[in-house]
Every structure is written in C-alpha cells, then in structure tokens.
A and B are shown apart, each in its own frame.
Chain A
C-alpha cells in the first residue's frame, strides 16, 4: 500500500469513529417534518436509506455518507469511502445507478495528486457494482473527508427495511467487527502492514454481492452495520417489537481488534454508542469483548434477518462467494424485558 500521504495522521478521528452519537442525532433531526405520500421510507424511520415511490415497478433509493480517512493510501481510502457510501443502497435491497462525489479536501497537507487517487479509488468501486459517477462537489477543508451521494433503484414491493424481523428468524452478519478499533490503530501506526492490508480489503469489500444473494432467500429485514456499532443497529432492528439474543462466541471479531482493544485503543465512538444503547441490553453474562459490539464500523457488513429454514443455505452461499467471515450470530425472540440480550 502507498502510505506516503499519511492521510489518517491529519484527522482527529478515523472513519465512522468520527460519527455523531445516535442520541445527539435523534435530538437534532427529531423536529424536522419530512413526510410525503410518495416517501416509502423516510427520516422518521431511522432506516439506512430513503425510498421514494416512482411507479409500480420502481422506487428511488437515496443515501449520502462521508468519512474521514481510515487508511493512509489515497486510492484505498477512496475505495473504502465509496463502499461505505454505496452500502446503504444494498442494505435496502437496491441496485446502484448513479453517484456523486462529495469531497472536503485538505489542500494544506496534501498535493492535488492525492485527490486524483482518492477519486479513482471511489470510481473503481462504483463501477464494480454497475453504477456510474456523474458529478460531484469539492471544497477546501481543514480535515479530509470523502464520500458520495448515491442514487439507486428498488422494487417498491421488495424493500428490505431495517426494523421488520420476525420472531424465530436468525441474524447473519457478513463482515467481522472491530473496524473502528483497527482504523484507530492504523492512525496510531500500531499495526503491521499485512494486518493493515487485511483490514483495508475487508473495508473495501462491497455489500453488493451479499445483498444480491440475500434476495434469493426468505429474508425479513436487513441493515448495514456502521457508526452505531452492532448493538446500536441491532437495537434499531428490534424496534421495541421483538428481542434479539446474541450467541457471543459466534460473533465474528478480528483477533487483531481484540488485541488492540485490550491495549485500550478504543475510539470514543464506541463509548458513546455504549452510553446510548447499554440500557437496552440485558448483559447478565458479562463479556470481555463487549465493547467491540459497540465499536463504530466503517463500511461494516450486512445484518440480515432470515428464516431458520433458509439460514444455513444463505450462510453457505455467502461463504462460497468469498464472504468468509459471515456467521449466524443471533436469534429473534418474542419481546422480553430488554430488546437485546446475550446468550
């Protein structure tokens, strides 16, 4: 990897670790009234992307996301930021059509050539899923940010919402946890190159394939794990209608993330998430790696609620297609005292 640009050294927090906490966000957008008859999924539902009805066959899926650098290589940063932005469309079960770049460029620390590489990285990922970049906007900024506004399509009858799991379903997670801890470790230069490359390749993996595969099975809900961490997003999925029980030993967590977390390299975002979600978690069994379940993920995997009958087949196909960290990690139960618990 080309780490000369040292992108991560000029930002305060890495990637989604820089995200505003869910409590703060709810308060800020709570007062906005954004309802409209054609809005199928809007802001009040805290879903991954919005969906706007066009006709019987098509609805528009729109989302926007920007992140600060998580790796020092500009091209790879571009790829990861793009994968992160595109993911929300896949989480809704949609296909990407167009994307527009949004760049805050730190011209004080970086030459223009870095910008070119970032954009090339982003484009490579948009092209990979069959989309096209049709424009963008760049401003000078004190800290580098990059991401995209993405537009896609979904069938209005086949929208995958994030809060409609059925009792009896199990949850499959398609990428390992620990990315917030690891990207913070990258910023601190604490990881070997080989580990950085492994982390970068997980981050740059599109959720496109996982989304396409899940559509063949009996799936009731889907979301992507990003800034609010596994438990934050699972809490949204429970929607206070069901309870979700996790098999702690089944949750894929990168070994290197555990080691870094033990050393205290845990971004504030994880503690913010914990402070907000903790009260909804029945943690009778304390768990050493619990903080990693709150770790803010950049470009995290899909969390898919699927019937128990289809789960083994879906899991096998995900594994066969190279999404090798995929695992069945939880089951959906009738509502209990708390929306989330450990088994």
Chain B
C-alpha cells in the first residue's frame, strides 16, 4: 500500500500513516511519501515507537519514501527495554563500601562496573549517608556514573527524610525522592534485593 502525504503538515502525515497501518494485515509493507523533514522524522518516529522496521529513501523529485514493515520483517522485534534489566533492587545504606577513602572509591567502581553488565538492576535505593551520592557535586565521578545509570533506565530513589536530615534536599541531582512506603514496597515486591 502506498500513501502520499506531500504537502501535508503535522499531524496529518502521522494520522494517515496510523490509519493506513491499522487497515493493513500483518507482514505487509506501507510506503509513505513525504516532502519535508518534519513529516519524515515524525512518520519514522511513529513507526519505530510502535516497534516497526522502517527504511528511508530519497526520491529523485526531492521527496522521501518511508517504507514501514508491519509485522516481524526479518528481525524479531523484542521488547529490549525489559531484557536489559534484572528484576533486582540495589540497596545502598552508606556512601562508602566498607570504611574510609577506599570505601568511597569502591562505590564508584562497583557502580561503574554494574554499568557494563549486560543486565543491570532495575532500581537503586539510597538511604542514610548513601544520599551523599545522589546529591554529590555535579562533575564528580559518582555523579557521572549515576547519571549514566539513569540514562540507561535505572530508577534511582533517595530517601527524603535522609536528604532532609543531612540538609541536602536542594542538592539532589539525580533520580527521585522516595518515601518509606514506596521503598519497602520495592524491597519486598521485586525478585531480589542486593545490599552493599
């Protein structure tokens, strides 16, 4: 099936693509012709958001042909997001692992290594002095690691009472503030908890 969305402004190309895709059976190809960057980007975005394969070709008349494969195509579309996570919660009670200066380095090292793992824990909960980590200086090594974890989709929670106790409420730079109830629910609800 082929639809021509030339000359149409957002949101029309996406709406027409959506309608056409819905009318098609699985394992068929929809070709959408667009004539501007916004329409091209939006149609591709829409298809990819639905987990569909797309191919983009420039046509000789300056327009663009977006081909969308409805169905499994040659690749099996998996929900890669869930696969990346262990159903585990990492529970940090201190800003160090063990005592002293080495302990501070170990936290950074441990979390940095966790980043490299094929599967990473789903959640990170910081209580007591562990909230120092989530409220550390902006360019500190620990902040870099935590932000990278967050960018990968790890949910990071810091204990609100602890932040308040240490006067660092306004310095939280990564993740969200968690409450006692939510924390307990996560600790008991997940498959497992790892404590450092």
Contact = CB atoms under 8 A, between A and B. Distances in A.
Given A12-B9, A285-B151, A343-B138, A266 B174 contact: no
A265 interface: yes
Contacts of B37: 268, 271, 275
Interface of B: 9-11, 14-15, 36-39, 41-46, 49, 138, 147, 150-151, 170, 173-174
Contacts of B36: 268
Nearest to A312: B170
Given A264-B45, A268-B38, A13 B11 contact: no
B49 A249 contact: no
B170 A266 contact: no
A interface, size bucket: 20 to 34
Contacts of B9: 12-13, 267-268
A270 B38 contact: yes
Given A263-B45, A266-B41, A271-B38, A188 B151 contact: no
B90 to A, nearest CB: 19
B14 A265 contact: yes
Interface string A180-209: 000011011010000000000000000000
A272 B151 CA distance: 27
A266 B10 contact: yes
Contacts of B170: 312
Which of A184, A185, A263, A312 is most buried by chain B, counting CB atoms within 10 A of its CB?
A263
A247 interface: yes
Nearest to B49: A262
A6 to B, nearest CB: 15
A265 B37 CA distance: 13
A267 B42 CA distance: 9
Nearest to A180: B10
B150 A264 contact: no
A264 B42 contact: yes
B69 to A, nearest CB: 17
Contacts of A12: 9
A79 B122 CA distance: 44
A190 B49 contact: no
B38 A184 contact: no
Contacts of A247: 138, 173
Contact of A188 (B15, B43, B44, B147): B15
Which of A261, A264, A275 is most buried by chain B, counting CB atoms within 10 A of its CB?
A264
Contacts of B11: 184-185, 187-188, 190, 264-265
Nearest to B143: A343
Nearest to B40: A271
A270 B41 CA distance: 11
Contact of A267 (B10, B151, B173, B174): B10
A265 B42 contact: yes
B173 A264 contact: no
A285 B36 CA distance: 27
Nearest to A266: B42
Nearest to A291: B41
B41 A264 contact: yes
Nearest to A261: B45
Interface string A254-282: 00000001111111101110010000000
A142 to B, nearest CB: 15
A10 to B, nearest CB: 13
